[in-house]
Chain A
Amino acid sequence: MFELFEHTADVGLRIRAADLNGLFAEAARGLFSLIVENMDDVRPGRQRTFCLEADNPTELLCDWLAELLFVFDTKHLLFVEFDVRINAEHKLEATARGETVDETRHRLDHEVKAITYHGLTVRRDGPGWMAEVIVDI
Chain B
Amino acid sequence: MPATANTIPLEQVDACCWRIPKRYKPGMRVDGLIFADDRLIEQIKGDQALEQVANVAFLPGIQTASFAMPDIHWGYGFCIGGVCATDPEEDGVVSPGGVGYDINCGVRLMRTNLRVDEVQPRLKTLVETLYRRIPTGVGRSGKYHFGPSELQQLMAEGVGFLYQRGLATERDVDCTEARGCIDDAVPTHVSDRASERGANQCGTLGAGNHFLEVQVVDQIADERAAAAMELQKDMVCVLIHSGSRGLGYQVCDDALRMFRSVPAVHGIELPDRQLACAPINSPEGQHYIGSMRAAANFAFCNRQLLMWQTREVFNDVFGRSWSDMDMQLVYDIAHNIAKFEQHRVDGQVKTVCVHRKGATRAFPPGHPELPERYREIGQPVIIPGDMGRASWILAGAPGSMERSFGTTCHGAGRAMSRTAAAKDARGRRIDQELLAKGIVARARSWKGLAEEQPKAYKDVDLVVDVVHKAGLSTKVARLRPIGVIKG
Contacts and interface: CB of A to CB of B under 8 A. Distances in A.
Contacts of A105: none
B139 A11 contact: no
Contacts of A119: 76
A125 interface: no
A9 B80 contact: yes
Contact of A9 (B74, B139, B193, B445): B74
B32 interface: no
A66 B448 CA distance: 22
Given A70-B197, A118-B77, A118-B273, A110 B207 contact: yes
Contacts of B102: 113, 136
A73 B139 contact: yes
Contact of B193 (A8, A70, A134): A70
B345 interface: no
Contact of B206 (A8, A66, A111): A111
A110 B138 contact: yes
Given A111-B137, A114-B249, A134 B208 contact: no
Contacts of B100: 136
Interface in B417-435: 417-420
B139 A72 contact: yes
Given A108-B444, A116-B76, A118-B274, A6 B417 contact: yes
A76 B139 CA distance: 7
B369 interface: no
A131 to B, nearest CB: 14
Nearest to B73: A8
Chain A contact residues: over half helix, strand or loop, or mixed? loop
Interface residues of B, number: 44
Interface string B442-469: 0011011000000000000000000000
Contacts of B138: 35, 108-111
Interface residues of A, number: 36
A134 B419 CA distance: 13
Interface string B134-164: 0001110000000000000000000000000
A108 B418 contact: no
B18 interface: no
A66 to B, nearest CB: 6
A10 interface: yes
A8 B74 contact: yes
B447 A37 contact: yes
A136 B101 CA distance: 8
Contacts of A111: 137-139, 206-208, 487
B234 interface: no
A115 B257 CA distance: 11
Nearest to B417: A6
A90 to B, nearest CB: 14
Contacts of B272: 117-118
Contacts of A116: 76-77, 101, 274
Given A101-B139, A117-B273, A118-B273, A108 B414 contact: no
A136 B206 CA distance: 13
B252 interface: yes
Contacts of B249: 113-114, 136
Nearest to A36: B138
A46 B467 CA distance: 53
B27 interface: no
B384 interface: no
Interface in B67-89: 73-77, 80
A9 to B, nearest CB: 6
A108 B139 contact: yes
Given A37-B445, A59-B260, A74 B196 contact: yes
Nearest to B137: A108
Contacts of A134: 76
B142 to A, nearest CB: 14
Contacts of B252: 114
Interface string A102-137: 000001111101111111100000000000001011
Contact of A120 (B73, B257, B273): B273
A63 B260 CA distance: 12
Interface in A1-21: 4-11
15 contacts: A7-B417, A8-B47, A9-B75, A37-B447, A76-B139, A109-B448, A111-B139, A111-B206, A111-B207, A114-B249, A117-B274, A118-B75, A118-B76, A136-B100, A137-B208
